[in-house]
Structure 1
Amino acid sequence: MKTFLLQFFTWWSGQTIGTRFHTWRHGQRVGSDDNGNVYYQGGSDSEGRTRRWVIYPAASDPSTISPGWHGWMHHRTDVSPASETYVAREWEKPHVPNMTGTALAYRPPGSILNQGHRPKVTGDYDAWTPKS
């Protein structure tokens, strides 16, 4: 019952009731990835292309979509990674969750949350004054 209520009232907890209905009615499972995401296709979108969507195993986090599936989701390729022997390139990095709001978040030099000091201005900038 709790799962049903989460799916009914939230969009960030896996799939909504609308997605569940659309998947049941039009969905054809295409494959899944190492992160537990399951990919579907079926029906057509407003441009006449085959509609593609993903159902996340837990909270909706689009950054967990691997690069191969990302290309398929955005119609960059018609062949899904499940239909071919997709091998990640050596420059493709593994997934790192979004760290915004945590102690591990990126804080550039000069940020008030960073312990360092703001870098000195190089002299190529002159502040505006009313009399200049």
Structure 2
Amino acid sequence: MAGLLKRLVTWWDGQSIGTQLFTARNGTKVGEDAQGNVFYRNDDDSRRWVIYSGQNDSTLIGPEWYGWLHHTYDNTPEDAPLAHKAWEKPHQPNLTGTAEAFVRQGSLRRADVKPAADYEAWSPE
């Protein structure tokens, strides 16, 4: 019961009831990526969408499926895999706001940098 109530009032974690009904009525499953996200399209291929396996975060989708979702590629990555260069790094989601986020050397957000204490506080006279 709690799962049903959560799906009725939230949209950011998986699919809502409305999306599930729309998918059941109009969707054709075309594939699934390594993260467990499931991709669908309608009969005339004018709409393409994804049902996330967890939290709805578009940065979790790799470039192959992202290109298919946005009609850049006609074929799914399962039908026509993209050729990757040897120098390409694997896809990473956006890490902004997490502990793994990139911070530049010298940033006060880094654990190895301590704020300088060689200043004198200003006080008005």
Alignment TM class, shorter chain as reference: 0.7 to 0.9
Q: Please list the CA deviations of residues 21-43 of structure 1 after superposition, one character each: whole Å capped at 9, or x if unmatched.
A: 11011101111111101000016
How far apart in 2 are the matches of 1:85 and 1:98? 23
Query: How far apart are 1:67 and its partner, in Å?
Result: 1.5
Does residue 113 in structure 1 map to residue 105 in structure 2? Answer: no
1:86–1:17 CA distance, 2 compared to 1 (3 A): same
Q: CA RMSD in A?
A: 2.4
Aligned to 1:101: 97
Q: TM-score of the superposition, structure 2-length normalised?
A: 0.74
Distance (Å, rounded) in 1 between the aligned partners of 2:94 and 2:35 = 15
SS state of the match for residue 7, structure 2?
helix
- Provide the TM-score with structure 1 as the length reference: 0.71
Among 65, 68, 93, the alignment partner of 1:69 is: 65
- Residue of structure 2 aligned with 1:90, choices 86, 110, 115: 86
Whole-angstrom distance in 2 between the partners of 1:91 and 1:6: 43
Aligned residue in 1 for 2:49: 53
Runs of 5+ consecutive residues of structure 2 not aligned to the other structure: 116-125
User: C-alpha separation between the residues in 2 aligned to 1:62 and 1:109?
Assistant: 29
- Provide, for residues 52-89 of structure 1, a one-character-per-residue CA deviation record: whole Å limited to 9, x for no partner: 00001111121221211111001001111122344544
Query: How many correspondences in the alignment?
Result: 113
Percent of pairs with identical residues: 44
Match of residue 2 from structure 1: 2
